Structure 1
Amino acid sequence: MAFAGKFQLESQENFEPFMKAIGLPDDLIAKGKDLKSITEIEQNGDDFKVTVTTGTKVLVNAFTVGQEAELETLTGEKVKSVVHLNGTKLSVSLKGIESVTELSGDTITNTLTLGDLVYKRISKRVT
């Protein structure tokens, strides 16, 4: 199943507590909580480029499934990790945060877990 496309954030759960837990400053949390981010995914086989635009902040990560890559976290830190693909799920562990992105039809659900805190983002395909 192809992940490629552009997706707009429809809803999110636990945004503020999760962002506080990872150390994002309150002013950035306040700015970001109502923004509808756009996620653009380019896929060529096992090669991915994911661009997330939230207001003026642009986060770009490129990786090949199963190979170590340097990825930028939500706090802007760069860490080396390996992204795995299991059916319709991309999963990666970044500094104690487990990230699972699942494609179902025209919906992408991104679930970030830190301990027992779960932040869920649901985005719908726009192109």
Structure 2
Amino acid sequence: MSFSGKFQLESQENFEPFMKAIGVPDELIQKGKDIKSISEIEENGDNFKVTVTTGTKVLVNKFTIGQEAELETVTGEKIKAVAQREGNKLKVSMKGIESVTELVDANTIVNTMTLGSIVFKRTSKRM
């Protein structure tokens, strides 16, 4: 199954505790918690381009499976990380955060980010 497509955020769990834990200011957490972000994923072999638009903020990350890439985090920090693919899952570790994006069916993507005991889960549906 291909990850390619546009997906709109449908639900999220533990948004506030996770954003606080990674250092996002309270005012931005309040602004961001009700915005339905749109994720656009372009998959071309092992090459990916992921564009996440949340209100006026646009985050673009490009990476190749198994190769180190510079990825921008939610806080705007740029870090080096390696994405791995396991079937319908993309996994990446960034500064203590384990991120797993799973294509659960043709129209649903679930992104789970784990930091210590906080599990932040976002479910998005294909548009």
Whether 1:97 aligns to 2:86 is no
Matches of 1:104 and 1:93 in 2, distance apart?
20
The CA RMSD over aligned residues, in Å, is: 0.4
Q: How does 1:33-48 map to 2 (within 5 A)?
A: 33-48=33-48
How far residue 91 of structure 1 moved from its aligned partner, in angstroms, is 0.3
**Counterpart of 1:13?**
13
How far residue 7 of structure 1 moved from its aligned partner, in angstroms, is 0.1
Q: Secondary structure at the match of 1:66?
A: coil
**Counterpart of 2:24?**
24
Q: Secondary structure at the match of 1:82?
A: strand
TM-score by length of 2: 0.98
TM-score by length of 1: 0.98
Matches of 1:76 and 1:27 in 2, distance apart?
16
Which ranges of structure 2 fall in alignment gaps of 5 or more residues? none
**Counterpart of 1:125?**
126
Matches of 1:61 and 1:76 in 2, distance apart?
11
**Aligned residues: percent identity?**
75
**Counterpart of 1:111?**
112
Give, as a single letter, the amino acid of the residue that structure 1 aligns with 2:108: T
Matches of 1:91 and 1:110 in 2, distance apart?
10
Q: Secondary structure at the match of 1:83?
A: strand
**How many positions carry a matched residue from both structures?**
126
Matches of 2:69 and 2:17 in 1, distance apart?
28
Which ranges of structure 1 fall in alignment gaps of 5 or more residues? none
Q: Secondary structure at the match of 2:29?
A: helix
Give, as a single letter, the amino acid of the residue that structure 2 aligns with 1:111: T
Whether 1:3 aligns to 2:23 is no
How far residue 104 of structure 1 moved from its aligned partner, in angstroms, is 1.7
Instruction: Spell out, residue by residue over 1:74-120, the C-alpha distance to the aligned partner (whole angstroms, 9 max, x if none).
Output: 11000001000000000000110000000022100000000010000
Matches of 1:48 and 1:30 in 2, distance apart?
30
Give, as a single letter, the amino acid of the residue that structure 2 aligns with 1:38: I
**Counterpart of 1:71?**
71
